[in-house]
Copies of this chain bind each other. A is one copy, B any other.
Amino acid sequence: MPLAHRVPDLGALELLLAVARLGSLGRAAKELGITQPAASGRLRGMERQLGVALVERSPRGSRLTDAGVLVTDWARRIVEAAEAFDAGAQALRGRRDARLRVAASMTIAEYLLPGWLVALRTQRPDTAVSLLAGNSTAVAARLLAGEADLGFVEGLDVPPGLDGTVIGHDRLVVVTAPQHPWARRRAPLSAGELAATPLILRERGSGTRQVLDAALAAHGGLAAAEPLLELASTTAAKAAVVSGAGPSVISELAIGEELAGRRLVEIPVADVPLRRALRAVWPTGHRPVGPARDLLGLTRSRPADA
């Protein structure tokens, strides 16, 4: 039942990628710091596990089979996710002597920052980053106290005492399970319908909730209905929607995978501007320099509203 028994472990996947890149078991082994027999055995084990030959061995080297090419590309996805994990985890470990201290809102820390950190690492391998995640107020406090060099917040305004620049936008989307009647609508949802429907929402005070309330209020003074369910985390809300409990309004950053896998369906909405800016922020007058400036450059060159 558990996935781990059917999918090779990370070491084996890295080995496969190295073999694909270097064209030789022995060289791949050396790169990973193991011996050639270990690599040979490991690759053999992976092929036995998958029931498919991945590599064509010859006395002149090794090449991927057709199946091997496919498997290698799928493996690369896993390894890239692992790299993002590693970059995030290293930042989270947060040693005090870190040269770049970042404070970020939860959504940005979860979905955007790991990718930025991977990119930063290829550009500045020696920059140690520490990460602190919290809400906008906490981010502002850290910056003003000099405990962070650069902050990232989502929301409608820049906290007082800070300067900032918009680095992208986060759209809130209405989602349901594919079985929900809304998933078969042809016409977009109206603001009135949305306001009148009990939704699955984060607790009051969350950024998502604020934006939704503000957007409905701006649009003819509507007030959202009492929530169907109030949950503490985005993940819990997603799970509730997937299981068919009802519709919800969630950041598009959080639901890419679910939309792709058709576990969730986006419902178009008319006339309700459910966007919020994503901003990099810093104490007024202290424009980012050094590694903070590098990181800022990475974030700006890729708008987050793709």
Q: A residues within 8 Å of B by Cβ?
A: 1-4, 6-7, 9-11, 14, 20-21, 32-33, 50-52, 66-67, 69-86, 88-90, 92-93, 106, 109-111, 114-115, 118-119, 122, 133-134, 178, 233, 235, 239, 257, 259-263, 265, 298, 301-302
The A contact surface, by secondary structure, is helix
Q: Is the CB of A71 within 8 A of B86?
A: no
A74 to B114, CA, bound (A): 8
> Closest residue to A82 on the B side, CB-wise?
B7
Query: Across the interface, do B9 and A69 meet the contact criterion of CB distance under 8 Å?
Result: no
Partner of A10, one of B4, B33, B75, B118: B4
In the complex, the answer to whether A85 meets B74 with C-beta atoms within 8 Å is: yes
Residue contact B3 to A82, C-beta cutoff 8 Å: yes
Minimal beta-carbon separation of A132 from chain B (angstroms) = 9
With the chains together, A75 CA to B84 CA distance in Å? 9
A239 to B76 Cα, complex, angstroms: 13
List B contacts of A88 (CB < 8 A): 70-71, 74
Check if B93 sits within 8 Å of A85, measured CB to CB: no
A79 to B257, CA, bound (A): 11
In the assembly, what is the distance between CA of A2 and CA of B199, in Å?
A: 45
Q: Are B66 and A133 in contact (CB under 8 A)?
A: yes
Q: How far does the alpha carbon of A178 sit from the alpha carbon of B297 in the complex, in Å?
A: 12
Task: Report the Cα distance A265→B259, complex, angstroms.
Answer: 26
Partner of A85, one of B11, B78, B82: B78
Alpha-carbon separation in the docked complex, A119 to B257 (Å): 11
**A70 to B106, alpha carbons, bound, how many Å?**
8
**A14 near B10: Cβ-Cβ < 8 Å:** no
User: A131 to chain B: closest CB distance in Å?
Assistant: 8
A85 to B54, CA, bound (A): 14
Residues B67 and A92 in contact, CB atoms below 8 Å apart: yes
Contact of A235 among B72, B79, B114, B260 (CB under 8 A): B72
Contact A93 B51 (CB under 8 A): yes
Chain B residues within 8 Å of A114, by CB: 74
Cβ–Cβ < 8 Å partners of A81 in chain B? 74, 77-78, 80-81
Beyond the given A51-B93, A75-B85, please list 17 additional residue pairs across the A-B interface where CB-CB is below 8 A.
A2-B11, A2-B33, A3-B79, A3-B86, A6-B90, A67-B92, A69-B106, A71-B85, A73-B110, A73-B111, A74-B81, A74-B114, A77-B85, A80-B81, A115-B261, A119-B262, A259-B302
A306 to chain B, nearest CB (A): 8
CB-nearest residue of chain B relative to A7? B82
Cα distance A239–B21 when bound, in Å?
9
